[in-house]
Amino acid sequence: MLRNNLKIAWRNLLQKKGFSFLNIAGLAIGMAASLLIGLWIYSELSFNQEFENYDDIAQVMQTQTFGGELSTAVNQPMQLAGALRNSFDDHFKHVITSSFTGDELLTYEETRITRSGNFMEPGITEMLSLQMIAGSRNALEDPTAILLSESTANALFPNADPMGKLIKIGTGMKAQVKGVYKDLPRNSDFGDLTFIAPWELLNTVANFEARLGWGNNWFQTYVQLQQGADITAVSELIRDVKYDNIKSSGDDSGPISKPVLHLHPMSKWHLYSRFENGVNVGGAIDRVWLFGIIGVFILLLACINFMNLSTAKSVKRAKEVGIRKTIGSGKNQLIFQFLSEAFLVVLLAFVISIVLVLAGLPFFNDLTDKTMAIPWGNPMFWFSCLLFMLFTGFIAGSYPAFYLSSFRPASVLKGTFGNAQGASGLRRVLVVFQFTISTVLIIGTITIFKQIEHAKNRPLGYNKEQLLYFPINTPEVRERFETIRDELLQSSSIEEVAASDVLISDTFISNSGFSWKGKDPGMSEEFNTLRATYGFGEMIDWELKDGRNFSREFKGDSLAFIVNESAVRYMGLENPIGEMVKWGDNGSYKIVGVVEDMITRSPYDQVRPTLFILHYGRFLSFVNIKIGGRGNTRQALAHIEKIFNKYDPESLFTYNFIDQEYARNFLNEERMGKLATFFALLAICISCLGIFGLSAFVAEQRTKEIGIRKVLGASVSGLIGLLSREFVVLVLVSCLIAIPTSYYYMNSWMDDFYYRTEISWWIFIAALVGALAITLLTVGYHAFRASYLNPVKSLRAE
C-alpha cells in the first residue's frame, strides 16, 4: 500500500510540475532556514559544554552598591582565592586567580608573535581538563613555566620541538615551555586561551603583593566545586568573605557598599550574563528565543504554502477522491495517501535544504562569527532531522489530507461539488498569517538598524577621526615618553601625542574612596578614571564647559581633576571649579575643569561619572597619536614605526585606530540586524512563492469569467485590479495586525537600551508600502497574463 501511495504521489508531482516546484522550493527554503537557525541555537546552547567539569565550574561575582545602584561584576581582588581556599576548602576542588585575557608578545629568538592568553594559578589545567600533547598538566606549579596551545606552538616553533625552549612574554618576563595542549573549543569562553602562564610569575614581576589590597578588583576568580556540592548553598556561605576581610584589614567601606559574593555557574556564563540591580535578567538567551521563534515561523510559512496550494487544487482531485471512495477506500486510507504525498514532498525538500545549508554555511558562519558545521557523524543529529521531517510533513500535510478525504463521493460524481467556503476562508486566514509574520520581520529589521544608527549618531563629545594608539610594552617608553613625543611631533603628519592608562573608547577602570564638601556620609561612590599626560584633552578635541585644561604653567596640576558633566551632577556641585576632592591616602585634588559628557564605554549605556587625572608614571599603557597636519597617514605611520622600533626594538609594532575600536561596540546589534534581515528576506521569499502559486490558481479558475468580461468590454487595468483586489485586501489586513504587534515587541526590545530611538511612523508606512508592492508584483504577473488572453481561446477551452 505504501509503495502504491508513493507511486501515485510521484506521478502527481510530475503531472503538476509548476505547483510541485513551488511546494518543494518553499519547503526547502523554509527547512534550510530552520536548519541554519537550529545549528546556531545548538551552538549557543552547547557553549562551554565540551569541558568535562562543566557542571562544577563557576566564576565568583560580586554585587556592590554605588550611588544608590547595585552593580554586579566579575572583577575580584587577588587575595580572594586564598581566602576561599583557607576557609572553604571542603567545598572547592580548585580555586583559581586569573588575569583577564589579553594579547601578549611571545618571542623566541627571531620569531615574534602576538597571542591572547592568561596568567593563572596551576589548578586551571585540571579544571579545564586540558588535553596535553606534550608535557603534563601540573607544569604550571613551576613559576617559570608556560603552556602553549597547539596552534601557538606551531606558530612560534615551526618544524621544531617547543619543549624546554625559553621564550619571552612581553618584554620583561621569561618562561620555559613545559607543555603543549590541544586548542580549546572555539565555542567556549576559553576559546582565546592560546597560552597559560603562571599567576606567580606575573605577581612577582608586577610586585602585586606590595601594591594591591582588597580594594583593587583587577582580576578574576574561578572555582571548581567538589562533586555533589550545591552551588546555591556554597554561594550563601561565601557571600560575606570579601566584606569580612575588608573589615579585618581596617578598610571598612561601610554597610551601604557592602560587597556580596555569589557563584555564577559556567552553564550561565554565555546566555545569562546580564545583571540589573543585582539580579540576573538574562542576556544572550533572549536572542536564542527570538531566533528560535523566527525559525518556527519561517517553517510554518513554508507549511502554509503547501496547505494553501494543496487545498486550492482540491477541485482537480475531487473526482479521484470520489471514485476511490466509491470502490471502497476508507477515509483513513485516503488520509494516509495524502500524508504520504506530503512526506514525499518533505523528503525531497529536506534533501534540497541540506544542499542549501551546505552552500550557505560559509556565509552564515561569517554572519554569525561562528564555525558551525553539519554534524554528520552525530546520531542525535539524524534523529533530530527525522523528527524534523515528521513534524514538517504532518504540519504541512494534515489539513489537506483531512480536507480532501472528507469529500462526499455522491456530490463529487454528480458534478455538484464546489470549492468549499471553509477551505477558501482558511486559505485567506493563512495568507494573512504569512504576511503578518513577514511584515513584523520587516518592521523589526528596520527598527534594529534605526536603533544602531541612533547610537552611532550620538555625539561622542570628542573627535575619534585619525586618532590611533599603540601599547606601551616597556618601562623605558614610559620613562622617556617626553623625548619620544618630541621626536614623533617632528613629523608634519602628526598633530599631537599623549599617553594614557586606558583608551578613551574604553574607560573600564573605576575607583572609589573619594570625599568632597557636601557629600552624603552614607553615599558609596564610584568614578571611572582616566590617567593621561599633558595635551590629551586638546588631542581628542574635547569640549571644555568650564575651567581649563591641564597646563604645564600650573605646577599643582599633578593634584588636579578634570571632571565630566555627569560627575558634577553625581557629586551635587553647583560651582565645581576650585572644589577640593580627597582621594583616600592619595591626597586632595582640586577640580580645575569640566568637560562635556563623552561616550567612553558602550554607546547604549548611560555616561558614567568620570575623573581625568594628570599622570606620568607606571600606570600609562598606551601612546595616543593624532594624525593630521600637512602630511598623510602613510607617512605618519612610517615615522611612528621608526620611532617605536628605536625605543622598543624587541616588540612588534602594532597599532589600531580609535574609530575601529569604537565600531566594535555595535558588532552584536549589527549581527542581530543582519540575521533579522536575512530571515526577513527568506520569509518574504516563501510568502511570495505561496501567493505566486495561489494567484496562478485563481487566474486559471477564472479564465472563463475573464474571457466573458473582455467580450463585454472590460479593460486590462480593470481585470488586473479584479484579480489583485482580494490579495491586496488580505495584505492590508495582515499589516493592520502586524503594526501594533511589532510596535509592542520592538518597544520591549528597546527597553534594554538607556539611549533609544523612537519607532517612527514612517517605518510602518514603509512596511505597508513594501508589502503591497511585493504583493502587486507577485500577483500582477498572473493578473497581467490572464487579462491579455484571447477571450475566444478562453471560452473555447471551457
pLDDT digits (tens, 9 = 90+) for 557-582: 999 999 999 999 999 999 999 999 99
489-514: average pLDDT: 89
User: Has residue 220 been placed in a domain?
Assistant: yes
Residue 470, CA atoms < 13 Å, CB-side half-sphere = 19
- Amino acid code (one letter) for 157: F
Q: What is the mean pLDDT of the chain?
A: 85
Query: Packing angle between helix 314-326 and helix 331-368, nearest 10 degrees?
Result: 140
pLDDT value for 701: 67
pLDDT at 67 over 70: no
The count of structural domains within the chain is 2
Q: Which residue reads 546552547 in cell numbers? A: 45
766-781: average pLDDT: 81
What does the alpha-carbon distance between residue 8 and residue 338 come to, in Å, rounded to a whole number? 10
User: Has residue 573 been placed in a domain?
Assistant: yes
pLDDT value for 13: 61
Decide which of 588, 621, 650 is a domain's last residue.
650
User: Has residue 247 been placed in a domain?
Assistant: yes
pLDDT value for 18: 66
Residue from 688, 654, 674 nearest 782 by CA: 688
User: Has residue 422 been placed in a domain?
Assistant: no
User: Has residue 495 been placed in a domain?
Assistant: yes
pLDDT value for 324: 64
Cα-flanking dihedrals φ and ψ of residue 502, to 5°? -135, 170
pLDDT at 255 over 80: no
pLDDT at 254 over 50: no
**Range with the lowest mean pLDDT among 350-364, 427-441, 607-621?**
427-441
484-507: average pLDDT: 92
User: Has residue 316 been placed in a domain?
Assistant: no
pLDDT digits (tens, 9 = 90+) for 395-429: 877 776 776 666 666 555 555 555 445 556 777 78
C-alpha cell of 460?
A: 561622542
Decide which of 213, 244, 269 is a domain's last residue.
269
User: Has residue 248 been placed in a domain?
Assistant: yes
Highest mean pLDDT among 24-33, 239-248, 606-615, 682-691: 606-615
Domain residues for the domain of 638 are 474-650
What does the alpha-carbon distance between residue 498 and residue 208 come to, in Å, rounded to a whole number? 27
pLDDT at 449 over 80: yes
pLDDT value for 606: 83
Q: DSSP E strands: which ranges in 237-335?
A: 260-265, 274-276, 279-282
First to last CA, the chain: 36
What does the alpha-carbon distance between residue 764 and residue 718 come to, in Å, rounded to a whole number? 29
pLDDT at 591 over 90: yes
Instruction: Choose between 594 and 380: higher pLDDT.
Output: 594
User: Has residue 432 been placed in a domain?
Assistant: no
Percent of the chain surpassing pLDDT 70: 86
pLDDT at 8 over 80: no
Decide which of 634, 650, 666 is a domain's last residue.
650
Burial (0-12, 13-18, 19+ Cβ within 10 Å), 456: middle
Helices and strands, number each (H, E), in the chain? 27, 26
Residue 663: CB atoms within 10 Å: 14
